[in-house]
A = this chain, B = another copy of it.
Amino acid sequence: MRRTAAAGVALAAAPAALYRSTMANIKDIARHAGVSVATVSRALSTPSLVRPRTIERIEAAIVDLNYEPNHLAAGLRRQRSDNVIVAVPSIYNPFTSAFVQGIENVARANRMRVLLGITEGDVETLNKYTAMIAGKQADGMILLENSLPDVVRRPPAGGKVPPLVAACEYPPDLQLPRVRIDNHEAAALVVSHLAELGHRRIATITGPLAQFMSKDRLAGYRLGLARNRLEFDAALVAEGDFSLQSGHDAMVSLLENGDEFTAVACANDEMALGALSALQQRGIAVPDEMSVVGFDDLRFGAFASPPLTTIHIPTIELGEAAMRLMLDSLLPAEEQPPAREVVLPHRLIVRQSTAAPRRRRRKS
Contact = CB atoms under 8 A, between A and B. Distances in A.
Interface residues of A, number: 61
Contacts of A244: 299-300, 302-303
Interface in A83-128: 83, 90-94, 96-98, 100-101, 104-105, 108, 113-116, 118
A52 to B, nearest CB: 25
Interface of A: 21-23, 65-66, 68-73, 75-76, 79, 81, 83, 90-94, 96-98, 100-101, 104-105, 108, 113-116, 118, 131-132, 134-137, 156-160, 244, 248, 273-274, 276-277, 280, 299-300, 302-307, 316
A72 B156 contact: no
B81 A92 contact: no
A300 B273 contact: yes
B94 A92 contact: yes
Contact of A79 (B21, B97, B135): B21
Given A90-B101, A96-B97, 9 more contacts: A66-B134, A68-B135, A71-B135, A92-B316, A94-B97, A113-B137, A114-B116, A280-B305, A305-B305
Contacts of A75: 72
A104 B116 contact: yes
Contacts of A79: 21, 72
